[in-house]
Structure 1
């Protein structure tokens, strides 16, 4: 029975299905006061990942679709592991595209990333410099401290909006040892404070700040508390283990390398109707070589198809050599 599925993984936009999502379980309800906020539509990043076909590629398994729905129902983050090129990041964009949840908020994680980077940034130096200028030189702005605060991707995702935002926390395994633990409170409580605003809340209870979308929104009392918990996809290449406390707060999904049917759907999405038929031999060659136990990301196949089409007037042997170079394995499989 598929009646319970909100996200169906069809690749076709169906934003009305979000209205079928029932109320959150009691232990995952949040009471932030809804604020008017116009969420930007999906942008070029999503279109680039999903292709230019009629719909998004149907590249994820039934098990992946069911876990996406479990995360939507339970208001829990989805921890997605898998090899590079298995479609981990694409999953977040596919959900946003199909359910009409707007622009995907992206938080790429590196070794220097801290929790505050995801929540907000405060430009104290810029504020100090402006304080030394006169009004005619751009200083002493009427919007005060809010001019120097910008919410990060996680902070923007936690704004109290009617519908959940989609947040992609990309490659959490690249972070330092503290970040996974630092995330625990925010993921559990769905809120955070901005100390710079909290300190002045008695004199200035409302401050307008910039969001990750580039819009402006009022923050009350220096605290941001969500209403609809965001749909969060946390990706990992499996290069490290995460603390049990984080795993408890997430639903775990492991994606395998895409098979022939998933690759065919990907090619159709990026190269239009008939793309699979025109490139069937290349798809089969890629699948067979990937089955040999070496890591071959799916974008290698897309690169090969694109360049071979451009060089279609060349010699077949030269094209074969080009394919060999483009689809060279990048590493042995580590799983």
Structure 2
């Protein structure tokens, strides 16, 4: 194990982030005053197949570990490219778990995603509705507090002045509008942003408490947020588009390859136990054969092994027939990924 590694890829939590050296002079950020991360859990993790468990069982290759550490040292985003099921998103959860950096802040990208949505959302209509309701029910016109209607997004929350970096997963950036990667450039360089709605009222209300993406609350001073520890940003891509050179220059790039037979065996053992690993050599070979003819994710192998070790035994179904049926079905599914 390399002495300079902060993230080791072992799945065992440790305080290694405290050994992270100071950033290079051009990546120093001085936001403040420091805020404490919200202690709540990432409630969405259990709903995403295997993410919580994979954070513990994920075993990256040496190249992946070194690039993660390079991104931590240099305070640069990590652009991770690979086919579905290669562990792109799981890498972010693995880093957050091992370095005890709190719940992952996840921003799933769609074609309609905008920079402002990643930074914050302001419910102006809701505020107007409550003001009208208060007036018509005898409450009179009153200041309802703009902070009640403003929620920081995943990116906006990650850029709060924490003492230690938060982990931000910007998932499937290649699905974004063509302008979003360029819109992110200034944020990645400056590590700060402004909220115009708060700046307009800053004379009367210089400190406004707003909600964060992870369910907490934080005070924003004069409508401006600047990070203190640049977040560990993972941007995932299926390799479906090219990105602008200026965007690529600001990221470190990691290409994830599909796991080989030995790595698949280790994954099976981590998720389903040593017995499943011993009994699944034939299914791993069949999975690799299927994968050569089309895109398959590791999830599908785990599904096939689990089903053939339960349904095939309990109901007398043919093991290989059931595995092939499941793999063909998922392989042709339009929602794969």
TM-score (norm 1): 0.91
In structure 1, the partner of 2:187 is 186
Mapped pair 1:43 → 2:37: no
In structure 2, the partner of 1:173 is 174
1: CA distance, partners of 2:283 / 2:254: 29
Say if 1:198 and 1:222, in contact at 8 Å, map to a contact too.
Answer: yes
Mapped pair 1:18 → 2:17: yes
In structure 2, the partner of 1:56 is 56
Q: Secondary structure at the match of 1:235?
A: strand
In structure 2, the partner of 1:240 is 241
More divergent stretch after superposition (256-265 vs 2-11): 256-265
Q: Deviations over 1:129-175 (max 9, x none)?
A: 01112287898676600000000000000000111000000011101
1: CA distance, partners of 2:243 / 2:140: 46
Q: Deviations over 1:171-214 (max 9, x none)?
A: 11101111111111111100110000011111111000000011
- List 4+ stretches of structure 1 deviating above 4 A: 44-48, 50-53, 135-143
More divergent stretch after superposition (321-330 vs 185-194): 321-330
In structure 1, the partner of 2:228 is 227
2: CA distance, partners of 1:138 / 1:238: 55
Q: Secondary structure at the match of 1:121?
A: strand
Name the Cα RMSD after superposition: 2.2
Mapped pair 1:250 → 2:251: yes
Say if 1:210 and 1:216, in contact at 8 Å, map to a contact too.
Answer: yes
In structure 2, the partner of 1:215 is 216
- Post-superposition offset of 1:325: 1.8
1: CA distance, partners of 2:113 / 2:131: 29
2: CA distance, partners of 1:160 / 1:77: 17
- Post-superposition offset of 1:100: 0.6
1: CA distance, partners of 2:138 / 2:275: 59
- Post-superposition offset of 1:288: 3.7
2: CA distance, partners of 1:217 / 1:189: 21
Matched length: 327
- 5 Å-filtered alignment, 1:1-335, equals 2-14=2-14, 16-40=15-39, 43=42, 45-46=44-45, 49-50=50-51, 52=53, 56-134=56-134, 144-290=145-291, 292-311=292-311, 312-317=313-318, 319-328=319-328, 329-330=331-332
Q: Secondary structure at the match of 1:30?
A: coil
- Post-superposition offset of 1:320: 2.1
1: CA distance, partners of 2:140 / 2:277: 59
Cα gap change, 1:51/1:200 in structure 2, threshold over 3 Å: closer, same or farther? Answer: closer
Say if 2:127 and 2:144, in contact at 8 Å, map to a contact too.
Answer: no
